[in-house]
Structure 1
Amino acid sequence: MLDIAEELHRWCGEGRAFAVATVVAVEGSAPRQPGAALAVDAEGRAVGSVSGGCVEGAVYELCRAALESGESVRERFGRPGDHPGEDDFATGLTCGGVLDVLVVPVLPGAPGRAVLAEALAAVAAGEPVALARVVAGPDGLLGRALLVRADGTYAGALAESGGLDRAAAAEAAALLAAGRTGTVTAGPDGMRCEDPVTLLVESCLPPPRMIVFGAVDFAAALVRAGKFLGYHVTVCDARPVFATAGRFPEADEVAVGWPHRYLDAQQAAGALDARTVLCVLTHDPKFDVPLLERALRLPVAYVGAMGSRRTHEDRLGRLREAGVGERALARLRSPIGLDLGARTPEETALSIAAEIVALRHGGTGAPLTGAHTPIHHERPQGPGSVARYPVA
């Protein structure tokens, strides 16, 4: 649901009644992952998506029905014709996967609306928060929500006893710290025991950072690609005549300074994390070497550097002389980007963006045509794995 938080925050401010359908579980191949949502207001207006088109019509009607009944409901969608008595034209996922959708009415004055409104406001303000909602469990708890902040404090209530709330808040805080969205299970009394309650925890962090070093034409195209992917994009260059807001109007920030000193300052300020991507487009040793010497030792998601293969070999030699070890050098993506045959700045930016996405999700970059590998990759989840950006 947090993927459409900005629009829903506006709806709450306008006092609208609406219902939200959220993907809460996926089996096999499916177009959207847990947390993806479709919302429908009392006038029939819709925002978001749960399937990219396969079951949108049926989910839309479920939302309308929930607005009428005031009751939450969970529905499963599989391949058309998979169930007895169902014909081949029944609503379902043609990709062969299974999708579980939770539909919750959000009515003015209803219990639980306040905590959802608070969560939506926090996301709209760029705060790191997690929203834990009951997606399976004892009667009467379905759809109840708990807002959890980065410091572990929470708002809302899942059950009359506080044990479940405390357990859910601890689980949600852990997922938020890792930047993950997923499901967890706890007992209604807060223990992992009988009569479990399943919670979908949606984490929402501020946008990840992309720092582009080198105020060149390729950088301008990469800024646009980075913004499209949901990054907070900074351009840094030591040359003030090139590093101007006028040349990079779509960048969130343009910094003038030596790249390695800017990176040092950002690291000291705690402004870099495991989602940060660093793109070095200067291909000038006096900038590249001191910058990469530092960048390759940082726990960031991606470090790429532009240049020819000859430039790359020369750069590796200089970095070895500077004391950078082979393990760190192996992290360097250079020449930067995937082999798309790119020529123009826009094509090059696309190849860099594609490599970043492939690395994030464990993709190979190979054509899907003729391949027998999964279309959607599942990387092992850890502190460096992020399931969703505020839209990334």
Structure 2
Amino acid sequence: MFEQLLITALQEIEADRPVLLVSVARATGSTPRKEGAILLAGTQGLLCGTIGGGLLEHRCLELAAAQPACGHLEHFELDNRKAGSLGMVCGGSTEVLFTPLHDTAPLREALTALHDRTPVCLCLPLDGSAPHIAQDGALPVRPSVLSLHGKDALCVPLADAGRVFVIGGGHVSHELCTLLHRLDFRHVVIDDRADFCCPARFPHAEHTLTVPLTELAASLVGALCPTEADAFCIMTRGHQGDADAVRYALSTPASYIGLMGSRRKRETLFHTLTQEGFSSEAQQRIVTPIGLEIGAQTPAEIAVSIAAQLIAWRTAR
């Protein structure tokens, strides 16, 4: 989402058309979206993104079109029992920041950071002044308002530090990676078959690696070495590949290890792991069957169930 938003903003600025970022800076109670939700607006309306739709977004788009050069913070009551409410029944309140965009430099810097997978924050001063990019380990991992250089600013991380290692490039993986891209999950795809693991098949993957699954430890080194922020989705074409991938995943600090397969497959694998000396605590790290229970049958449906579980994992993390 951020990549498309930045590209669109650059196109609008270069065409000399007024454009603004409209961002949820603070949210209290029940609201359509929380801090960090962003849309891009022009004088003709919505260009990209959303802050939740409905009456709130409609009103913000009206304000952006009427005052495209006016940077400011606007408070909205979303409780129709209160004076000045928008008429919504959510019950909460929200502060929305309007940031006119003129300078392409910070947007290009942000786009470069996204392409290079460099963790940065887009910092939007609450007075509506020009945004800037911050790159600092002390910055938040979730959108929040901080005091920077004497100004309160909404700091929005542009890329999650975590990645999803998809082991196996079959039908479900193909469907899943399409969703991961749409949901802003960084992902790496690994298989031992070149035809099932290539950039043409997974165009949005950070890396596609064709290696024997017994050699994962030797292949995932340096910047590719999994961390606690990462997840594994294991869905190889057979029991042996699953076992090799699970053994490797358990040797890493990854905070999510999901395994696709039947109950019998699970019991067989766990029996093997027990014989090999893996503790019950280690085996409890494995989520199997992978995905939320929604009665999924087709590869696309299974991918939806897995993506939903990954969203819950990312939110909890």
Calculate the aligned-residue CA RMSD, in Å.
3.1
1:77 aligns with 76
Whole-Å separation in 1 of the counterparts to 2:166 and 2:120:
28
List aligned pairs for 1:83-102, cutoff 5 A: 83-84=82-83, 86=84, 91-102=86-97
Describe the shift of the 1:115–1:92 C-alpha distance in structure 2 as closer, same or farther (beyond 3 A): farther
> Which structure is larger by alpha-carbon Rg, 1 or 2?
1
2:138 aligns with 174
Q: Does 1:318 align with 2:272?
A: yes
Whole-Å separation in 2 of the counterparts to 1:360 and 1:208:
8
Secondary structure, counterpart of 1:30 in structure 2: coil
Q: Does 1:276 align with 2:240?
A: no
Q: Does 1:226 align with 2:225?
A: no
Quote the sequence identity (%). 25
2:134 aligns with 148
What is the Cα deviation at residue 101 of structure 1?
0.3
Secondary structure, counterpart of 2:91 in structure 1: coil
TM-superposition CA deviations, 1:127-180 (whole Å, max 9, x none): 432122332xxxxx553543212xx4xxxxxxxxxxxxxxxxxxxx4125xx32
Structure 1 residue ranges without an equivalent (≥5): 108-112, 136-140, 153-172, 189-196, 362-378, 380-384, 386-392
Report if aligned partners of 1:213, 1:279 keep a CA contact under 8 Å in 2: yes
TM-superposition CA deviations, 1:88-139 (whole Å, max 9, x none): xx525432221110112234xxxxx36544444435644432122332xxxx
2:42 aligns with 41
Report if aligned partners of 1:31, 1:51 keep a CA contact under 8 Å in 2: yes
Describe the shift of the 1:355–1:105 C-alpha distance in structure 2 as closer, same or farther (beyond 3 A): closer
**Which is worse superposed, 30-39 or 95-104?**
30-39
TM-superposition CA deviations, 1:309-357 (whole Å, max 9, x none): 1221221122233332332221100122222222222222222222222
Which of 111, 116, 121 does residue 130 from structure 1 map onto? Answer: 121
Report if aligned partners of 1:19, 1:66 keep a CA contact under 8 Å in 2: no
1:359 aligns with 313
Q: Does 1:27 align with 2:44?
A: no
What is the Cα deviation at residue 304 of structure 1?
1.0
1:286 aligns with 240
List aligned pairs for 1:331-342, cutoff 5 A: 331-342=285-296
Whole-Å separation in 2 of the counterparts to 1:248 and 1:225:
14
What is the Cα deviation at residue 255 of structure 1?
2.8
What is the Cα deviation at residue 59 of structure 1?
0.6
TM-superposition CA deviations, 1:340-377 (whole Å, max 9, x none): 2222222222222222222333xxxxxxxxxxxxxxxx
2:62 aligns with 61
Give the letter aligned to residue 96 of structure 1. Answer: G
Describe the shift of the 1:297–1:181 C-alpha distance in structure 2 as closer, same or farther (beyond 3 A): farther
Secondary structure, counterpart of 2:154 in structure 1: strand
TM-score normalized by the length of structure 2: 0.83
Secondary structure, counterpart of 1:63 in structure 2: helix
List aligned pairs for 1:381-392, cutoff 5 A: 385=317
TM-score normalized by the length of structure 1: 0.69
What is the Cα deviation at residue 45 of structure 1?
5.9
1:50 aligns with 51
1:17 aligns with 18
Number of equivalenced pairs: 314
